[in-house]
Structure 1
Amino acid sequence: MLNNFSWNMNGYIPKHQVNPHGDGIIPYVAERIFQLEPAPPAVDSLNEYILSALQGKNLIHFSFFLHHYEPQLNKRIKDFLGVDGGDLYDTDRFIDIKLSCREQMLQKLMDYDLAKGAEYATYIYPLIRDAMLRFRMGEEKWSVSSLTNYKMVRSMAWLYHNTKEAVSEFAKKYNCDLALAEEYLKVVRGICDQQPFYVTDEDGEETGDDVALDDTWNYADILWNGIQAEKVQRAFEKLNFREQTLLEKRLAICMTCGRVGLWKNRPTFEELAVIFEGSTASGAERAYRKAVDKLTELLVAEGALHAVRLKQVSKTKQKKKSAAAIYEYQVDCDGDWGELSLNFEAKTAEIIRLADWDTIKSNKYAKAAISYLLYCKNENCPKDIVIPFEY
């Protein structure tokens, strides 16, 4: 494809250091990673850079194009993420999306044909959109067979939340039968119950609206969503009878038919204790918590979710409340433990040691643990717990 091209940047360097102080990438730099020093030679049209790259088989001209095109690319990514210029965003993620767009632009460079009447900036417009969607598709915990199918799911999500006749409107738009439209609606409902879901409007643009019911984990919400059901079923079948019964009754769900009962009618721990003779309410609650943790570990093994196991090492109390604590944390119930120091009064935390498998840059597991611990009630800081989360 581009095997015969050179990419010699002699005489040019990045204008901004990506990580000058080791404190992470600031938004200003994230938006200027393609800027060159000195500035590229002036041309009348950005398209001249692309034509020069193709004719001379030298991608330095593609870098010249990116130098000037970067502000437009930044705006498109911000629009996609629903981020205004002054808002904070994850700069690592911002750069990852930008590099994904650049990769797509490079892959399609050889396909560009000026004779078809469009300049390269116009030609790549839908390609950049697809690159951003592919990136998000890779982030999300549900999967489809293709980008086209992914777009159709998002289109149904928009119709589901903005029209009264989502199924018929979808069938009309894609010229498909109602049964297929119903299948897409079933998928959308499942996804919305599982995680934050940013829908696509009828023009193919992100609305930026989070249409999920909740972004916290709830087992009852995701058991029968059509995406993770098989994994959950396999994990559930590995539990013993007592564990299965505790989970089904306390979560008001039948794992045989998938029926979810009214939450307010679920049995209390006192009532669960009666079912298992010789148990107390506190004993039934402990058994239920252990069953939840065991199911979480099994779901992690199935690849259905991620989890952080926390173990309290020490804590300091002040006026009967936890003022500070040291916790060990483990990633996905495997590997060597890391260590966290938390100050509950100041709502601050420090990662003393990273656990095995935690992400070196973003520390997603440590951050998930810290977020949970800092905002739980100080007097009820857990001694040992497994926290499931999606990432």
Structure 2
Amino acid sequence: MDTAWTWELPGHCAKYSFLTEPKGLTMREVERIFQLDPEPPVRESLNDYIMEAVQNREQRWFSFFLHRYENRLNGRVRRFLLREGLDRYDPERFLDYKMGCVLAMLDCLWEYDPAQGADFLTYAHHFIGNALLICRMQEETGSFENVDEYKAVRGIAWLYNQSGQSEQAAIQEYAQKNSCTEETAAKFLALAKQNRSRVPFYQTVQDEDSEETGEDVSRDDHWDYAEVLWNGIRAEAVREAFEKLNYREQTLLEKRNAICMTCGRVSPLSTRLTFEELAVLFEGSTASGAERAYRKAVEHLACLLTDAGVLHMIRLKRKSQTKRKKKIAAAVYLYQVDNDGEWGEISFNFEAGTAEIIQLAEWDTTVSKKFAQKAIQYILTCNAKLCKETTLIYE
């Protein structure tokens, strides 16, 4: 009798239907969604699994391939989200992008011809890249006919921003390089300016087709607020809020995020200042002091954007906790929505993986409840390193 392989999430007794019920996932789960128990048969190379799938017309060999390839696939998705300035630790978004890549590979599977001499991953590399771009395109504020138009818009936006040229000069250069008319190039630039999602457009087009490198892409020592500053937010509202900050706060935000708020130029993240370098700008400060000041500046900006109705904020404060054998078993958190009004209260039982809303913020059963659910999801996914206080920001 053949062994039955199933996708099963660690710590769960039942199989998980990730296509229909993504809520409440953790990053550990979505990064291991294709791990099989028991281990699949061992082959010398990844391409051997694909060969078995193609020759025998059995999709289980593709699932064995995914089991072995998953770590590399995670890396590719994570690097794409990192370059786009997106939250690469959002489990639901990560899973959406990852499943997009898997569906692209499935489309490639039955078209793959080993006789052409290329490995499957070499053949599918371009299609995986397109799948990532399609996912990103669907999140943009603009409207695009297809992924080819989206690529063209990204290309001219990157050229316009990096070259520092006038619009007309950028249009002429793009038209010459890509053998299109200036009218077409102007249309692409107009779409880019309408979309205005600056970090994704202006910073990453050169990296979209890079090969797997295996580098460590874990989170570094800074809070990535490029998304808070630009991604999906109207630039006019950000500028208005930015002008209300004091000089030190403005300098910290611009230098740390490599953004010029005067002209809107976004420089490569490699040019941003470290906290040590920021401390030098303000004599008498230390690196840790500069980091604290930076975080306060970000929070101040977020508060201003919340007052303007652009963002929503959830403030969380731990009221109490219970430890059991050096492990936090339960905790009670207070939460406040949009930095205003009475605090609500939520009780967490981490051993059971449950939460109970004791009191809604401002006793609001319509608006506040959905933010309470967001707070519950956040706390339950990070209970191993619970913070005393934190601020969550949502569009």
Aligned residues of 1:157 and 1:188 also touching (Cα < 8 A): yes
Which residue does the alignment assign to 1:177?
A: 181
Q: Does 1:166 align with 2:157?
A: no
- The Cα of 1:29 is off from its aligned counterpart by 2.8
Aligned residues of 1:196 and 1:210 also touching (Cα < 8 A): yes
- The Cα of 1:140 is off from its aligned counterpart by 1.6
SS at match of 1:112: coil
- The Cα of 1:55 is off from its aligned counterpart by 2.2
Distance change in 2, residues 1:219/1:31 (3 Å): closer
Distance change in 2, residues 1:340/1:46 (3 Å): closer
Q: Does 1:339 align with 2:368?
A: yes
Aligned residues of 2:27 and 2:91 also touching (Cα < 8 A): yes
Which residue does the alignment assign to 1:245?
A: none
Distance change in 2, residues 1:18/1:100 (3 Å): farther
Which residue does the alignment assign to 1:142?
A: 142
Distance change in 2, residues 1:40/1:338 (3 Å): same
Q: Percent identity at matched positions?
A: 31
Q: Does 1:326 align with 2:356?
A: no
Which residue does the alignment assign to 2:40?
A: 40
Which residue does the alignment assign to 2:356?
A: none
List aligned pairs for 1:366-381, cutoff 5 A.
none
Task: Please identify which structure carries the higher helix content.
Answer: 2
Q: Does 1:12 align with 2:10?
A: no
Q: Distance in 1 between matches of 2:198 and 2:363?
A: 27
Distance change in 2, residues 1:25/1:151 (3 Å): same
Aligned residues of 1:328 and 1:337 also touching (Cα < 8 A): no
Q: Distance in 2 between matches of 1:60 and 1:14?
A: 12
Aligned residues of 2:159 and 2:170 also touching (Cα < 8 A): yes
Aligned residues of 1:197 and 1:210 also touching (Cα < 8 A): no
Amino acid in the other structure paired with 1:73: L
Rg larger in structure: 1
Aligned residues of 2:140 and 2:232 also touching (Cα < 8 A): no
Q: Distance in 2 between matches of 1:166 and 1:157?
A: 9
Which residue does the alignment assign to 1:105?
A: 105
Which residue does the alignment assign to 2:73?
A: 73
- The Cα of 1:217 is off from its aligned counterpart by 4.8
Amino acid in the other structure paired with 1:177: T
Which residue does the alignment assign to 1:232?
A: none
Distance change in 2, residues 1:88/1:211 (3 Å): closer
- The Cα of 1:37 is off from its aligned counterpart by 1.5
Amino acid in the other structure paired with 1:337: T
Distance change in 2, residues 1:315/1:43 (3 Å): closer
- The Cα of 1:62 is off from its aligned counterpart by 0.4
SS at match of 1:128: helix
List aligned pairs for 1:308-323, cutoff 5 A.
none
Task: Indicate the larger mover: 9-18 or 144-153.
Answer: 9-18
List aligned pairs for 1:206-245, cutoff 5 A.
214-215=230-231, 217-218=233-234
Amino acid in the other structure paired with 1:66: L
Q: Structure 2 regions of 5+ residues with no counterpart?
A: 17-22, 211-223, 239-307, 310-336, 345-358, 379-389
Q: Does 1:151 align with 2:151?
A: yes
- State the Cα deviation string for residues 223-279 of structure 1 (Å, max 9, x = none): xxxxxxxxxxxxxxxxxxxxxxxxxxxxxxxxxxxxxxxxxxxxxxxxxxxxxxxxx
Q: Distance in 2 between matches of 1:77 and 1:218?
A: 26
- State the Cα deviation string for residues 352-385 of structure 1 (Å, max 9, x = none): xx6xxx9x979xxxxxxxxxxx98xxxxxxxxxx
Q: Distance in 2 between matches of 1:325 and 1:16?
A: 32
Which residue does the alignment assign to 2:315?
A: none
Which residue does the alignment assign to 1:117?
A: 117
Distance change in 2, residues 1:203/1:28 (3 Å): closer
- The Cα of 1:187 is off from its aligned counterpart by 1.7
Q: Distance in 2 between matches of 1:147 and 1:50?
A: 27
- The Cα of 1:20 is off from its aligned counterpart by 7.3
Which residue does the alignment assign to 2:94?
A: 94
CA RMSD in angstroms comes to 4.6
Distance change in 2, residues 1:114/1:169 (3 Å): same
Amino acid in the other structure paired with 1:187: L
SS at match of 2:361: strand
- The Cα of 1:131 is off from its aligned counterpart by 0.7
Which residue does the alignment assign to 2:262?
A: none
SS at match of 1:108: helix
Aligned residues of 2:153 and 2:191 also touching (Cα < 8 A): yes
Distance change in 2, residues 1:162/1:184 (3 Å): same
- State the Cα deviation string for residues 200-228 of structure 1 (Å, max 9, x = none): 4345459x996997458559679xxxxxx
- The Cα of 1:118 is off from its aligned counterpart by 0.7
List aligned pairs for 1:235-274, cutoff 5 A.
none
Q: What TM-score, normalized by structure 2, do the two folds share?
A: 0.51
- State the Cα deviation string for residues 263-316 of structure 1 (Å, max 9, x = none): xxxxxxxxxxxxxxxxxxxxxxxxxxxxx99xxxxxxxxxxxxxxx99x98679
Q: Distance in 2 between matches of 1:213 and 1:189?
A: 17
Q: Distance in 2 between matches of 1:218 and 1:41?
A: 52
Which residue does the alignment assign to 1:259?
A: none
Q: Distance in 2 between matches of 1:189 and 1:18?
A: 47
